[in-house]
Structure 1
Amino acid sequence: MTATRHRVVAACLMAGVRAAPLSEVAAPPSLWQECGRRSMDPKEQYKKAGMRIWSSRPLFQKIVMKSKMTIREQKLQLNHNWSRPPSGFLKINTDAAFHRDTNSGGWGFVIRDEQGRAMAAGAGNLVHISDALHAEALALLYAIKMAAHMGCDKVLFETDSTQLWRAVNSNEYDLANLGAIIRSITFQLSVEFSSARVVSCPRACNRVAHVLAAYGVNLGAEMCETWLGQLPDFVLNYVMGDLPNIEVWQSGEPKMRPERDRVVIAHTVGMAALEQGFCGRALYAAILGHLQSVVTPEVLAAAMESYCVVRGVATKVEVVCPPFHFFVCFDSKEDCTRVVHVSKQLHCGGSRIGFQCWSRFSHGTLGKLEYKMTLSLEGLPEEACDPDIVNLVLAGVDGKLIDMLPAIDRWVLSITARLRGPRGVPKVLTVFVPAPPLQPWKPISYDENAHSLPPPNSPKECVTIGFFL
């Protein structure tokens, strides 16, 4: 029984359960120990021994069940992430940091909609606070005031402080030192919103508010900052990492894809540089007749090296799409010329190989942009008023930039362009620009135990910024 008692208490300690000392948690006495008292009548001895053994069982059952529940909760928290609120609700995460030595700290909150988009956030500094619960309660109070000021109706508040959650959802703290603040919180929740609840969440679900609380610690005494709509980069970095259930690669609906479509791509500076490098140094190779054996890029490179005396190291052979089979690029024009002269004479794998000089018209068909038009673009961002960017925008409507007319102001950008047809130009064109990667904010100095910064999650989607032209 003693060994069993030690194993149970050890398991409880590993699971995070605060068990009573061994002197208080006594193991169920054995029948032999209870019957060792010779002074009693044998029948009375057996009767009392059975009662003692039976009465000690609930204590052990309670400890074991609590340890199992704690282990189960820890497993759930490992795979837990921030979740979106129900439809029509806003979710507000709050957190606070507390320095016991100076009785100071910071608070932070973030307001997000059902799509996970951050609408507002705030952070501030706290002084003259008594404990961590005091700081958490003030953080929740500031978040409630901000939500009420924004006119929020249905709100779900999340905090990683189980003590604050218990205080708001029960009457345990009404007569405590913080009872006035707790009652003020419950009163404002019932008055300011048509539906409001305070729930508890693991710390992993409260990363953004935790970072904001750390930011508030570094502000001046009793200073605060709030953001509406446009949030700072260090906050957006953590918000993007919290978006759940969005995979980087998505399969889509293959059956819904159209059979054919068309697109015009702009002729960029990079394309011009590649064309200049291919001119006189690149060939297309095609296998003529019936294929008798497999011809690989390595086999073709070895055949050209032995028959045409070209340097294999300076030759690059790659597979291309039909009507050709290989794309061959040389470092020197002399090697390219020697190979072209043996077109249809070189044998590789039992088949003849034909060569053709590279040209930009080799794969495509000729077409033309028939219409010359003057267009006005309204709403193009200032940083995108560049010929290369405008050319990319026109490529989306089957067009090509001719010239950018002198701009009178930043509102309207007038251009001349060639288009395939006027019907392909919509009245309103939405342009999406991928947002650049954001750098996480780091405090100047911080107490690791009070408000250490968690590493940001990897973003699960590519965030874009939309502009309406």
Structure 2
Amino acid sequence: MENPEKDLYSTLLCSLLTKGTEIVLNGNWKKPSEGFLMINVDASYNEAKGAGSTGTVIRDAAGGFIVAAHNYIPHVVDTPMAEAFALRDGLLLAQQIGCTRVEIQADCLEVATTMKEGGFSATAAAAIYKECCQYWEEFAAISISHCNRECIPISHELAGLALVEKSFFVWIDDPPSSILKLLVNDAATLLNQ
């Protein structure tokens, strides 16, 4: 029996390739374990303005898009605080759509380490981590891992978009056009595994 999701991505890949679209394989995106969804989170920070933004994308084990969001935060102390906000926004988005079993990838080592060690922080982001810990407890199964930025280009793109547009937006089932090529790149990686 053929996998309909794989067929969908194959069709999309073929369509893009016949139009001359360059596909750059991202060998770093990690699909979640069976029965889990993957949450990728990232943040952007503008030191001159003291503002930040977050980007989140949630996908299934086939790389299929489920939901994405970006959020502008007008007052942020530093990059690690923006990254803590990104984790919080990712957890909230997952809960809002009913996810109970998730794996999280973040490119901020401080965020991943802080949550693995119980969420205690003596930084400006302490209250955000406390909030994250409260949300964390509501999941049936949850884990977080640190990855490099190349693993999470979609959430990075969304965070950058929010910082420029100074907006908040959620996309359900229908991703924004700015991330379509990145979704296809990740799906191509999965097809080649």
TM-score range normalised by the length of the shorter chain: 0.7 to 0.9
The answer on 1:91 being equivalent to 2:38 is yes
Equivalent of 2:162, from 194, 200, 216?
A: 216
Report SS of the residue matched to 2:49: coil
Seen in structure 2, the aligned counterparts of structure 1 residues 172 and 234 have a Cα distance that, compared at 3 Å, is closer
Seen in structure 2, the aligned counterparts of structure 1 residues 195 and 171 have a Cα distance that, compared at 3 Å, is closer
Query: Shift of residue 103 of structure 1?
Result: 0.6
What is the aligned partner in structure 2 of residue 105 from structure 1?
52
Q: Does the aligned pair in 2 maintain the 1:157–1:198 contact within 8 Å?
A: yes
**Greater relative contact order (Cα < 8 A, sep 6+):** 2
Q: Does the aligned pair in 1 maintain the 2:56–2:90 contact within 8 Å?
A: yes
The answer on 1:142 being equivalent to 2:105 is no
Report SS of the residue matched to 2:191: coil
What is the aligned partner in structure 2 of residue 128 from structure 1?
75
Equivalent of 1:194, from 137, 140, 161?
A: 140
Seen in structure 2, the aligned counterparts of structure 1 residues 172 and 108 have a Cα distance that, compared at 3 Å, is closer
Q: Does the aligned pair in 1 maintain the 2:38–2:103 contact within 8 Å?
A: yes
Tell me which moved more, 173-182 or 148-157.
173-182
After superposition, what is the alpha-carbon deviation per residue over 1:287-315, rounded to whole angstroms, capped at 9, x for unaligned?
xxxxxxxxxxxxxxxxxxxxxxxxxxxxx
What is the aligned partner in structure 2 of residue 287 from structure 1?
none
Equivalent of 1:236, from 180, 185, 188?
A: 180
The answer on 1:180 being equivalent to 2:123 is no
Equivalent of 2:171, from 213, 217, 227?
A: 227
What is the aligned partner in structure 2 of residue 82 from structure 1?
29
Whole-angstrom distance in 1 between the partners of 2:76 and 2:41: 17
Query: Shift of residue 232 of structure 1?
Result: 1.5
Report SS of the residue matched to 1:227: strand
Whole-angstrom distance in 2 between the partners of 1:80 and 1:140: 23
Q: Does the aligned pair in 2 maintain the 1:106–1:213 contact within 8 Å?
A: yes
Query: Shift of residue 173 of structure 1?
Result: 4.1
Report SS of the residue matched to 2:62: coil
- TM-score, normalising length from structure 2? 0.81
What is the aligned partner in structure 2 of residue 365 from structure 1?
none
Seen in structure 2, the aligned counterparts of structure 1 residues 90 and 215 have a Cα distance that, compared at 3 Å, is same
Query: Shift of residue 170 of structure 1?
Result: 1.6
What is the aligned partner in structure 1 of residue 149 from structure 2?
203
Write the mapping of 1:358-369 to structure 2, written as runs, cut at 5 A.
none
Q: Does the aligned pair in 2 maintain the 1:174–1:182 contact within 8 Å?
A: yes
Q: What count of residue pairs does the alignment treat as equivalent?
A: 167
Seen in structure 2, the aligned counterparts of structure 1 residues 233 and 188 have a Cα distance that, compared at 3 Å, is same
Task: Supply the AA of the counterpart residue of 1:232.
Answer: P
Equivalent of 1:167, from 96, 114, 122?
A: 114
After superposition, what is the alpha-carbon deviation per residue over 1:62-92, rounded to whole angstroms, capped at 9, x for unaligned?
xxxxxxxxxxxxxxxxx85102110000001
Where structure 2 has 5 or more consecutive residues not aligned to the other structure, the ranges are 1-25
Tell me which moved more, 178-187 or 95-104.
178-187
Task: Supply the AA of the counterpart residue of 1:225.
Answer: F
Query: Shift of residue 202 of structure 1?
Result: 1.3
Query: Shift of residue 171 of structure 1?
Result: 5.2
Q: Which has the higher helix share?
A: 2
Write the mapping of 1:32-431 to structure 2, written as runs, cut at 5 A.
80-170=27-117, 173-191=120-138, 193-220=139-166, 223-243=167-187, 244-247=189-192
After superposition, what is the alpha-carbon deviation per residue over 1:331-376, rounded to whole angstroms, capped at 9, x for unaligned?
xxxxxxxxxxxxxxxxxxxxxxxxxxxxxxxxxxxxxxxxxxxxxx
Query: Shift of residue 200 of structure 1?
Result: 0.7
Whole-angstrom distance in 1 between the partners of 2:33 and 2:83: 24
Q: Does the aligned pair in 1 maintain the 2:37–2:58 contact within 8 Å?
A: yes
Whole-angstrom distance in 1 between the partners of 2:99 and 2:73: 25
Report SS of the residue matched to 2:105: strand
Query: Shift of residue 186 of structure 1?
Result: 1.5
Whole-angstrom distance in 1 between the partners of 2:75 and 2:59: 30
What is the aligned partner in structure 2 of residue 404 from structure 1?
none
Task: Supply the AA of the counterpart residue of 2:162.
Answer: G
- TM-score, normalising length from structure 1? 0.34
Whole-angstrom distance in 2 between the partners of 1:104 and 1:168: 23
Whole-angstrom distance in 2 between the partners of 1:134 and 1:176: 8
Where structure 1 has 5 or more consecutive residues not aligned to the other structure, the ranges are 1-78, 248-459, 461-469
Whole-angstrom distance in 1 between the partners of 2:31 and 2:181: 17
Identity score, percent: 26
Q: Does the aligned pair in 2 maintain the 1:94–1:108 contact within 8 Å?
A: yes
Seen in structure 2, the aligned counterparts of structure 1 residues 172 and 185 have a Cα distance that, compared at 3 Å, is closer
